[in-house]
Structure 1
Amino acid sequence: MARFDRKVERTKKEYQFTQKEKVVETNKDFFKKNFNLKWVHLDLKTILVFIIDFLLVTLLIIPILMQYLNEAVAFVVGHGFITSLLIVLTGCLVNREKPKMISLFARFLFMFILLGASSGISMMITSWLN
């Protein structure tokens, strides 16, 4: 059966057809909808890909960044920027979805704030304990 975008109201002898109004989403709506973790589908394949992304940055990219940057800055840039970018892009590829650029940007910003802040806080705690 096909879906129709109209609604029929039936009275005794007459029919009234009305069209459903299309809801137009703005960029602000897309940004608000994607600035959270609801876009992450947690299944085994996605979790393994995210772990591989995290380990790739931790074992390969952060040591290279430490040669040129401070240790704390390398961790924040590595996990905040690069890991966030990898997680957003591989999340879209694994789930085979094609979101708009504003959605990708909102997801990236959310992950950047989350991972960058957590790695920055962990570096502060580690330096405070030593």
Structure 2
Amino acid sequence: MFTFVVGIDTDEDRATAQAETIASMPLEADDVTAVLVHSFSENKGGGTVEQVKSVRVARSRLEDAGIEVTPEGYGGDPARAILNVADEHDADQIVVAGRKRTPTGKVLFGSVTQSVILDTERPVLVCSGGD
């Protein structure tokens, strides 16, 4: 079994790119599982991960490709959530979606992708959606 841990934010284009990249890999779909991780910065309304449209989009695309999907929602720091789930599932690879930011933006706001890459020994695949 090959396990991907996929960090899904709220951007549907990035979620689609991540799902399509995984679905196009030369692996037997029935030997692949994808754990979709979404981190809520605030969840005062008690929403679930299944209510996040980008998670539903990625899940649908992966399931259409015959890949088993498990969505998981967490609160707090997205990078830490992704890394913790990767450890819990002993992931073979982490898949994140990068976005274009200026160097100043990265310094001021940090980068989930950068944190994941720097804080894991696991292989990390970075996808980007849109143009």
Shorter-normalised TM-score: what interval? under 0.3
- TM, length-normalised to structure 2: 0.23
Using CA pairs under 8 Å that are at least 6 residues apart, name the structure with larger relative contact order, 1 or 2: 2
- TM, length-normalised to structure 1: 0.23
* Greater C-alpha Rg: 1
Which structure has the highest strand share of the two? 2
